[in-house]
Amino acid sequence: MTTRRELANAVRALAMDAVEAANSGHPGMPMGMADIAEVLWNDFLAFNPGNPKWFNRDRFVLSNGHGSMLQYALLHLTGFDLPMDQLKRFRQLHSHTAGHPEASETPGVETTTGPLGQGVANAVGFALAEKVLAAHFNRPGHEIVDHHTYVFLGDGCLMEGISHEAASLAGTWKLGKLVAVYDDNGISIDGEVHGWFTDDTAKRFEAYGWNVIPHVDGHDPEAVKKAIAAAVAQGDKPTLICARTIIGFGAPNKQGKEESHGAALGKSEIAATRDALDWRHDPFVIPQEIYAAWDHRTKGEVAEQAWNAKFDAYAAAHPELAAEFKRRVAGDLPADWAEKSQAFVDKLQAEGPEVASRKASQMTLDAFGPLLPELIGGSADLAGSNLTKWKGSLDAGTGNSSDGKGNYLYYGVREFGMSAIANGIALHGGFIPYDATFLVFSDYARNAVRMSALIPAHAIHVYTHDSIGLGEDGPTHQPVEHLASLRYIPNNQVWRPCDAVESAVSWKVAIERKGNPACLVFSRQNLKHQQRTAQQVADIQRGAYVLSDPQDTKFKAILIATGSEVELAMEAARTLAQQDIPVRVVSMPCTEVFDAQPLEYREGILPGWCRARVAVEAATSDFWRKYVGLDGEVIGMTTFGASAPASKLFDYFGFTVSHVVDAVKRTVG
């Protein structure tokens, strides 16, 4: 009979062979955690290799993603569509076995990990989504949402501050179906961690409100099984299993040392490891009996069929709920969404409210929230400033609100953790998450926003107080470079609307951007309503459009602006018209969307013949050079802001009609 150690050794062999073939990678963690992974995947984890997206599967997250060969070996051995050829091409161009796990590339990978600690936060998002979705849909005798989230993490994850943010919330939210396994091997890239990591991890997590199982021998399958069973059995706390392991287990000369952490073991050490593990097989060769013992395809299919039967019974008892559940899990918007959301946009255009765009955002949430029960969001302790709470907001932190429809999260001052948790909620399915803070604090969250775009995840990041218009709080709180920084993230859409109508459209487009993120950037100060035709309203979603053209004459220059500066551009255009200098005003709320438009449309907005262009935005200037060219000018920020009332700051930094007018005159010549 095949032993557990032999099954784990198959993982070890694949890890060291793949890293050796690539001459790149991290064999130590997969070899150290192989025994733990074998117990979890064979005895506890519910999944179906034939349908990696079966909804009620358990979620597995490898937060210490540098050990990616652990996950690839597990996926291959259990029967996912990840053939041996892909393992042989580990870390090679266009393979499905990238250096760190990528959800968009490899079947069975739930989230893209590698930036340490973010997988922990993603896992918290998965577990929260499971709990809240269960509160939304489960009914007595019909628990159709009932799965666990398991996350592996290492010393590096715990050293990163995001683990504090996420773990603290997990304890507060009582995420009893979250199980974390800490690979306590005492080694990081620089060597033995006791020189720089002396935290009492068990006490730390106990203080967060976690159930902690300490001192588990990570190489004793029975001890590991007992610990996981205890974690699954308890109900109202997340669990941390502290598993002591030996990094590079089985490598006689490199186990327990940093040499096995981030480099190939080398041919001689691999040969010695094969002897030490009694693994008498050539590289990438797995005996059939080992494959048979690992194969999860039949077991997974049976598990999914059993759940399908439960869902059929649920649908018979609660047909409307079942239909709604299927819609939300599929990520489809309600049938009446397009009509009703556009009706709200049109209503705003007709009424013309002059409000701060952050207030317009809240008005939009009031209108869209009742249409979208999947919308769930919150703020990093700034709800009263970000205006992220809407009339139907109910605390979802416990997942047990009285009517089962919690949809609001109090994240506390945890911008980074909040954003990475939102990624996990989005990836879980059944929700469209949004989070919020001041734009200047997007710096704290930026790597999670980057991961939103890279994974990708349908998370909506809301940022308010978008410029020096913040005013008296001064340069520490006034964003300058942040818009450009966010715009430079590939696959990210950054919207900075100029009034309530553009604000509503930005929300509409972000909600409809299935599977991909957006950043919505709103003002503190009131913004003037802009008059538009129906066609102009429709063109907002194209990222840029002509807001104003001179009548009966050809324009001599183009003014491009976003957000609060659109109003300034319009005033400057009126002044220039009185001086017989007709100009076009282009509102460009989303540069990324505009850049993706067909050339014909872009040329229609910014025709090449007109080289007299001025861009106006209360943010760093250099970003706009690509739109104005060498002959144009940018009125923007080249320094940090200052502490003063907003009106004084706009005057001081040159955001005035006269300054814009003079710039246009210079470009016209």
Task: Report the catalytic residues.
Answer: 415
Instruction: Give dist(CA 105, CA 22) in Å, integer.
Output: 18
Of 506, 510, 451, 493, give the one whose Cα is nearest residue 125. Answer: 451
Nearest-angstrom CA–CA distance, 137 and 147? 14
Q: Are 173 and 149 in contact (CB under 8 A)?
A: no
Contacts of 446 (CB under 8 A, 6+ apart): 485, 486
Q: Closest Cα to residue 4, out of 209, 224, 304, 235?
A: 224
| Cα 207 from Cα 297, distance rounded (Å) | 40
Backbone φ and ψ for 160, nearest 5 degrees, come out as -65, 135
Return the SS3 of 154.
Answer: strand
Report the 10 Å Cβ neighbour count for 305: 11
Distance CA 487, CA 108 (A): 31
Residue among 477, 476, 494, 496 nearest 485 (CA): 494
Query: 315: buried, middle or exposed (CB in 10 Å: 19+, 13-18, 0-12)?
Result: middle
The amino acid occupying position 534 is A
Contacts of 146 (CB under 8 A, 6+ apart): 56, 134, 138
Residue given tokens 């859409």 in the structure block: 493
In degrees and rounded to multiples of 5, residue 548 shows phi and psi of -150, 135
Residue with tokens 């997974």: 300
Contacts of 237 (CB under 8 A, 6+ apart): 171, 174, 176, 209, 210, 211
Rounded to 5°, angle at Cα 154 from 92 and 163: 110
Terminal C-alpha separation, the chain: 88
For residues 215 and 50, give the distance between their C-alpha atoms in angstroms, rounded to a whole number: 36
* Closest C-alpha among 555, 522, 536 to residue 357: 522
Amino acid at 560: I
Tokens encoding 570: 């319009």
Residue 135 CA to residue 164 CA, distance in Å, equals: 26
In the β-sheet with 149-154, what is the strand arrangement from edge to edge?
59-62, 149-154, 178-184, 239-244, 211-217
Residue 188 φ/ψ, nearest 5 degrees: -130, -175
Residue 290 has which token pair?
């080992």
Provide the residue count of the chain.
669
Q: CA 509, 512, 516 angle in degrees (round to 5)?
A: 95
Per-state percent for the chain, helix, strand, coil, to nearest 5: 45, 15, 40
Residue of 143, 202, 208 lying closest to 175 (CA atoms) = 208
Spell out the residues 6+ positions from residue 115 whose beta carbon is closer than 8 angstroms to its own. Answer: 447, 451
